[in-house]
Structure 1
Amino acid sequence: MNPERVIENGNVGPVNAALVPRYAGPATFARLPRLDELLGGTGSADIVVAGVPFDTGVSYRPGARFGANHVRESSRLLRPFNPAQDVSPFAAAQVADAGDLAVNPFDIEAALQTVDEGITALMADGARVVTIGGDHTIALPLLRANARRHGPVALLHFDAHLDTWDTYFGAAYTHGTPFRRAFEEGIIDTDALCHVGTRGPLYGTADLDDDARFGFGIVTSADVFRLGVDAVVALLRERVGDRPLYVSVDIDVLDPAHAPGTGTPEAGGMTSLELLEILRGLRGLNLVGADVVEVSPPYDHAELTGVAAAHVVYDLISVMALGAGAAPGGPAYGEASTTYGN
């Protein structure tokens, strides 16, 4: 193992930025070790980051096939200690980057099968996987893999859109249909489903009727604005309880001012701070898997979207590293802010 890596609690962490400049070397997520570098190449980790370069399911702007590596490049500035959650996630758990799954860019169903098999293999030793997409079509096989292990999972879906439509141009598997298919397949817990950050025009009221029939609650971006983050977190925690939880984040849940590099932007979205604080509010829940999707670097001026997505992945990893049953609530930053400058 590279002696320039940080090692804490026996876990191999990022490259030491005091020894190697952040702009140097391979761009794994947060400059973590590759999965095949660990334990003599046996590739065992508690939390695995995996990329899925796939955007064949998009209905508007493509480019998310390049999203995983863009997020990795944008993660170079992440540091080992997360003060917002009072945890050093790479010391609390062994985290590694598994690289990208090689998925078929021409056959959507074949691609979904590859994702299912690849993520299942990564989970075989008990690892939890945070997947960087790719378009939102990939959420379906990710849910399949997690439900195979845990049974139907609770789902918090952060997105500008419902993604519970039936078909596009007769196609059943697209980035706008994964959660309808998941409901039909019985792999999500219909007592613990919620969209967060939805907004914008719909095709008609039937969209909402169908969505409610599937069991989804809705917290719109306007609700986040009016109710505030703490109230939203309380609602979500009550809805999820202690069930196995899967979190799916479409980066277009953020306002285009915070995330311009995405395929279907909608005005009136959440701020990056609101999204991060809600995710941090999930600490202590049984987070078994997550994805961050729809990052399209061709539209990402100044790397705003990549940086936001990298921090989302980092906070999801931190929640996983803390584990189920960790004390909820905020730590150092909120306490320190009352004496800042004294």
Structure 2
Amino acid sequence: MTAADRPTGPRGTSAPATPAQPSFRGPVDSSRVPRYAGPATFARLPRIDEVGGAADVAVVGVPFDSGVSYRPGARFGGNAIREASRLLRPYNPAQDASPFALAQVADAGDIAVNPFDINEAVETVEAAADGILGTGARMMTLGGDHTIALPLLRAAARRHGPVALLHFDAHLDTWDTYFGAEYTHGTPFRRAVEEGVLDTSALSHVGIRGPLYGRKDLDDDEKMGFGIVTSADVMRRGVDEVTQQLRERVGDRPLYISVDIDVLDPAHAPGTGTPEAGGLTSRELLEILRGLAGCHLVSADLVEVAPAYDHAEITSVAASHTAYELTTIMARQIAAGRETQG
């Protein structure tokens, strides 16, 4: 680790600014404050109020799981990910980048939503996301259940126009209703297509597997414009080929990535509400995400971490690394844009 990679104070500041490289407040220095001490912000980064109330990338929690159809508990996922992220370090060798020195990344806390009214919760998340994106920040959202993807996509599309979507999940999440309810964790992407917030020429699921209700599930999904890369496809074709396919599908469009942690096999992510056998390994997921570096990633979410079922924090650790890779992609792109403008 170089001096530029290591924060200089207990609360974390980056190396001195130069004309080519501005200075950003980074994580707490683990050589001076033990990892297990202090508040659990994501990656021990500063709170957003500690950086003037604005950031290039805002890490935001949404403690909401009223849209689940099986096991609850994802409302505690964001804080579990934050706790696991204490072990993250400021230099990412897989992407050869120090993301927290390239852009101001800060923890913006949680969006407090009504756990008893899904419609109100969706509206609250959308309004909060509008406010954050309106500052020019990108969002790395920690759920919560997958219901929250819809309001986040609405906000992203309001800023960027219809966005490309890469959806990492065991499940399609393009079903119509559950018990007559339109807003659930199994319906967000059907609603997003219906509302026109997605670019239907650039949609793909990754990691799909397991039983469905019928062939119509796949037919409906195809009509909406989704391509499907199953977990078996990743195993047979390999990460590099799959990643190239995804890059070609999204091109240079504004891209939103949504990761349901159950895309991973239960061996790698037992702490989730609807586990399915035969999933990706954490290594495969991380390598695919790293291969998407350079794509126009405007925001991302990571959902369905349910720590009550997560022995030894396996799921939370995998989730923290997933969020770290996504944050690194955004920070690198922000820095590249700054250099181009400069």
Is the shorter-chain TM-score for this pair beyond 0.5, marking a shared fold? yes
Kept after mapping to 1: 8 A contact 2:264/2:280: yes
Kept after mapping to 2: 8 A contact 1:283/1:324: no
Kept after mapping to 1: 8 A contact 2:103/2:335: no
Equivalent residue number for residue 14 of structure 2: 7
Question: Where do 5+ consecutive residues of structure 2 fail to align?
Answer: 1-6, 16-21, 337-342
**Which residue identity lines up with residue 285 of structure 1 in the other structure?**
C
1:325 deviates by 10
Match runs of 1:1-342 below 5 Å: 3-4=9-10, 5-8=12-15, 9-39=22-52, 43-323=53-333
**Which residue identity lines up with residue 151 of structure 1 in the other structure?**
G
Provide the aligned C-alpha RMSD in A.
Answer: 1.3
Kept after mapping to 1: 8 A contact 2:270/2:311: yes
CA distance in 2, matches of 1:254, 1:100: 25
Question: Where do 5+ consecutive residues of structure 1 fail to align?
Answer: 327-342
Percent identity over the alignment is 72
Task: Work out the number of aligned pairs and report it.
Answer: 323
The 4+ residue runs of structure 1 with deviation greater than 3 A are none
Q: Secondary structure at the match of 1:81?
A: coil
1:85 deviates by 0.2
Kept after mapping to 2: 8 A contact 1:156/1:247: yes
CA distance in 1, matches of 2:9, 2:278: 47
Give CA-to-partner distance per residue, 1:119-156, whole Å, 9 cap, x none.
11111111000100000000000000000000000000
Kept after mapping to 1: 8 A contact 2:143/2:301: yes
**TM-score, normalised by the number of residues in structure 1:** 0.93
CA distance in 2, matches of 1:125, 1:165: 33
Kept after mapping to 1: 8 A contact 2:103/2:334: no
Q: Secondary structure at the match of 2:259?
A: strand
1:3 deviates by 3.7
**Which residue identity lines up with residue 282 of structure 2 in the other structure?**
S
Q: Secondary structure at the match of 1:14?
A: coil
Kept after mapping to 2: 8 A contact 1:284/1:325: no
CA distance in 1, matches of 2:332, 2:202: 22
Kept after mapping to 1: 8 A contact 2:142/2:302: yes
Q: Secondary structure at the match of 2:26?
A: strand
CA distance in 2, matches of 1:190, 1:239: 11
CA distance in 2, matches of 1:322, 1:274: 21
